Structure 1
Amino acid sequence: MSPSSPTPPAQMARNLYRQAPVSAATATLIIIVFMITAVQSHSITGNLNDSGLGDAWVLYLPLMDGSPFGPLRALGSSLLHLGIGHMLINVILLYLIGRETEWTFGSPLTAGILVTGALGASATVVWQSPGSPTVGASGAVYALMAVFVAIAYSRKDSQVGGALVLIGVNLAYTLMTPGVSLWGHLGGLATGALLAGVLFGVRSRGARWFGLGSICAVAVIAVLVRVAMLSTGASLS
């Protein structure tokens, strides 16, 4: 193969994975989940209609009390997306920003950021907008954005301005677009800000994991408490 030959798709995929394995694996999982829902619904635009996986994982508080697995919607919903455009935007942002996070903090901590960001966003939704069905990795992506701002600031480079603009544009889009989960995005952003404070506030790996685990535990407890309140007949408002 000559130096000017295009990189084969398989080699390109391997290169992307080597650069950021957790971000690449998460993006791949999201694409696989989207394909399953598209096959189940026979549609790439209305892929959550008549999709068993979509019905089982959509974040919707009234459906989270039906079984012991109901609270898992808080995490599973972050893998679901409504339409191919919604999925592609989140996959691209997740990989590009996640790659920076992996280069800075490593793959295991990045995995923790993604999970905690998704749970923090879901916890915010079930408390602030419990009657609104919600899907998407945006909460995790917003958490990554907040951490990325802190990374860029720590480097004292020009990327911090771009990161802030990216957040601003996305928040503006959220406010102007009907049906987009404002609380999910704000919850992810707030969770990411807390995570950034922990990651840059302490230096030892153990302390970072303790802080991340504590934030994740609070998000899980918040979801479980809200579900428990539902089971006792508490109002959704």
Structure 2
Amino acid sequence: MESESTVTTCYRHPRVECHVRCTRCDRYICPDCMREAAVGHQCPECVREGARSVRQARTAFGGRVASAPTVTYVLIALNVLAYLGETVRPSIVDRFDMLGTVPAGYLPEGVAHGEWYRLLTGAFLHLPPTDGTFGILHIVMNMVSLWNIGRVVEMQLGRVRYLALYLLSALGGSVLVLLIAPTTPTLGASGAIFGLGAAYYVMARRLGADMDAVNRFMAGLLLWLVISAWITSWQGHLGGLLAGGVVTLAYAYAPRDSRRTLVQVGACLALLALLVILAMAKVAELTI
């Protein structure tokens, strides 16, 4: 007959006597292994297993809910750092701005001559401070716009979807510049920001927001698109607007089931493929 005074010990610390069991797996646990639970205590393994099984909250568009718009902060920091860099070394602008090609008679440079990185690096540069008053205003206006719009869009989409939207919008703006004005050097985050503006509009319609305020916002955005035809690159703005709209339509109207992520990723990859094909076709035309 087994003695009633049998000593019970912790399953993780066999030398420690204990009398409390994990409410989930029923193993004995010592005070060092006890984790507070809704009822009683649990062991560390059961706590970790329970945390893995908890379903993470998602936004209306399938992204993970974030506590802060971290990607927007990082993008602003990258733009500011690039601006400080070009202030110290102005040659950075000519080396990394968006340029398709140069007229005949000049040294070959630009996307058509293998500098494909310009399709994205130009979106992180701005007019240098030596370029009159608008040089400073260029980055200030873009970063204020990114701060105001980017935070809202990121919190609705989640970090991964938001970053994909931003980069595809920037790429869309650069590709339209390449197609229409390949010999015009352009730079600035405006194309990507126009893409965020399109996303803001599409999301507001999908969520049933007050469209009066949203329509006023879009009217201002389109007015700036028209004005930019005389001031800066309207091609980059329009390309970013179209790319951002396409991506967000896929985000907003993908089926809300297990296929949603697949449809959203597929739409982004399809747009990326289209932009690459258009860019390659134009480069082939420029290098004939």
Scaled by the length of structure 1, the TM-score of the pair is 0.79
For 1:5-44, what per-residue CA distance to the aligned partner results, in whole angstroms no more than 9, with x for missing partners?
xxxxxxxxxxxx962011110111001001111122xxxx
Moved more, 211-220 or 140-149: 211-220
Is the 1:145–1:163 contact (alpha carbons within 8 Å) kept by the matching residues of 2?
Answer: no
- One-letter amino acid of the counterpart of residue 223, structure 2: A
Structure 2 CA distance for aligned equivalents of residues 129 and 150 of structure 1: 28
Q: 1:150 to 1:174 in 2, by over 3 A?
A: closer
| Structure 1 residues 66 and 129: alpha-carbon distance in aligned structure 2, compared to 1, 3 A threshold | closer
Percent pairwise identity:
25
Of the three residues 80, 87, 97, the one matched with 1:38 is 87
Counterpart of 1:205 in structure 2 is 261
Deviation at 1:86, TM superposition (A): 0.8
Residue in 2 that maps onto 1:7: none
Aligned residue number for residue 141 of structure 1: 193
Residues 1:164 and 2:215 aligned together: yes
TM-superposition CA deviations, 1:144-181 (whole Å, max 9, x none): 111111111122222x4333323322332343353311
TM-score (normalizing by structure 2): 0.66
Query: Which residue number in structure 2 is paired with residue 58 of structure 1?
Result: 97
Q: Structure 1 regions of 5+ residues with no counterpart?
A: 1-16, 41-50, 233-237
CA deviation after TM superposition for structure 1 residue 66, in Å: 6.7
Residue type matched to 1:172 in 2?
L
Pairwise CA distance, 1:65:
4.7
Match of residue 13 from structure 1: none
Does the 8 Å contact 2:111/2:118 carry over to 1? no
Can you list the C-alpha shifts for 1:71-125, whole angstroms capped at 9, x where unaligned?
Answer: 1101000001112211111112123212222211210110000110001111111
Q: Is 1:78 paired with 2:123?
A: yes
Q: 2:166, 2:244 within 8 Å by CA — same for their partners in 1? A: no
* Paired residues for 1:189-204 under 5 Å: 189-202=241-254, 203=256, 204=260
1:214 matched residue in structure 2: 270
Query: What's the CA shift for 1:192?
Result: 1.4
Of residues 214, 217, 231, the one that matches 2:287 is 231
Larger Rg: 2
Change (3 A) 1:180 1:228: same
In 1, Cα distance between equivalents of 2:205 and 2:170: 24
State how far apart, in whole Å, the 1-side matches of 2:93 and 2:187 are: 9
Aligned equivalents of 1:98, 1:118: Cα separation in 2? 14
Q: CA RMSD in A?
A: 1.9
* Cα distance change of structure 1 residues 163 and 137 upon mapping to structure 2, 3 Å threshold: farther
CA distance in 2, matches of 1:179, 1:130: 17
Greater RCO between the two (CA within 8 Å, min separation 6)?
A: 1
Picking from 17, 21, 24, the partner of 2:70 is 21
**TM-aligned CA deviation for residue 67 of structure 1:** 4.9
Aligned positions of 1:109-128 closer than 5 A: 109-128=161-180
